[in-house]
Amino acid sequence: MQLYNTLSAEERKELIAQAGQDRLTISFYAYHQIGNPSLFRDYLFIHWNQLSVLGRIYVAHEGINAQLSVPAENFRAFKEHLDSIVFLENVRLNIAIEQDNFSFLKLKVKVRHKIVADGLNDSSFDVTNKGVHLDAEKFNAILEDPNTVLVDMRNHYESEIGHFKNAITPDVDTFRDSLDLIEEDLKEHKEDKNLVMYCTGGIRCEKASAYYKHKGFKKVFQLEGGIIEYTRQVQNKGLENKFIGKNFVFDHRRAERISDDVIAHCHQCGSACDTHVNCANEACHLLFIQCPTCANAMDDCCSEECKRVHNLPYEEQKALRKGKTVSNKIFKKGRSEVLKYKN
């Protein structure tokens, strides 16, 4: 039995287009001690592949973190399968505000050391001693308290295109980078301030809230379900929306628009823009913000050098890439000396 993808992304995209069926983009997570992540990984792949689930799922001893899409007609069967797994029964599913049938084009279920790279030693504190969960209405209310400090637990390229009003948005590359930075900045307010955190879907805040309570913060809160669930509740209940701009998401859509505000700028010309793209030069693939005018002028590339390489014959491009590794450790998202207007 094959427990891996047998189709390329382009082949899968063609099949989805031919099928003409709506798909739902969903995310969820659960912290739970999993004895054999590899076995659990294979179990999920077998069942979800049969339901035409596509996505990026991380499994670790500490739990599961999933971003995926499923045909709408298979959603009930998918939900029944989740409910058959004890620790996933009635797990909160964050369903995307903006649906896209092509949000994921492969099913990737990977075993990882952590479901979020937090760099923490979980044995050093009680990860179950979490902060208070807030729904959208309670979240809006606590933001009116002058003793509240609101912190964005996401990375710089995420908060750059959208964030809550008056939020602290650390200029960091990773979740782990933000933990100590925030503690240092707020060390004088561990007793008196409401530390309120938010992220995309809630998973980062789940761990961070326990960590900050361990570090001595007395009043720790988190937005339940993150920005995705907040937006859904705001729309369904007619609440005031305090989020401005776009919510960055980790699939082919790259973002969901939450408000009409455009708070970011093209990294190449400085004009108002909040559209993330990847450099068309496959040897670079840098994630950055590019407006349509610059995209046309630069052939979807981040620099003149990448434009030159991108326009070479494919075999020459392939030869230039040979032996080189492209990773976030080398090409950090949204950070490059060639991006003149990156803040």
Smallest Cα–Cα separation from 295: which of 317, 267, 318? 267
Alpha-carbon distance of 53 to 46, in angstroms, equals 10
Query: How big is the chain, counted in residues?
Result: 343
306 is catalytic: no
Alpha-carbon distance of 289 to 190, in angstroms, equals 36
Smallest Cα–Cα separation from 85: which of 52, 114, 48? 48
CB contact at 8 A, 98 and 256: yes
88 phi and psi angles, rounded to 5 deg: -110, 5
Tokens of 63: 């739990």
Q: Exactly one of 199, 205, 279, 302 is catalytic; which is it?
A: 199
Alpha-carbon distance of 322 to 324, in angstroms, equals 6
Alpha-carbon distance of 142 to 148, in angstroms, equals 7
67 phi and psi angles, rounded to 5 deg: -125, 120
Report the first-to-last Cα separation within the chain, whole angstroms: 49
CB contact at 8 A, 211 and 125: yes
Element (H, E) at 55: strand 54-60
Active-site residues, by number, are 199
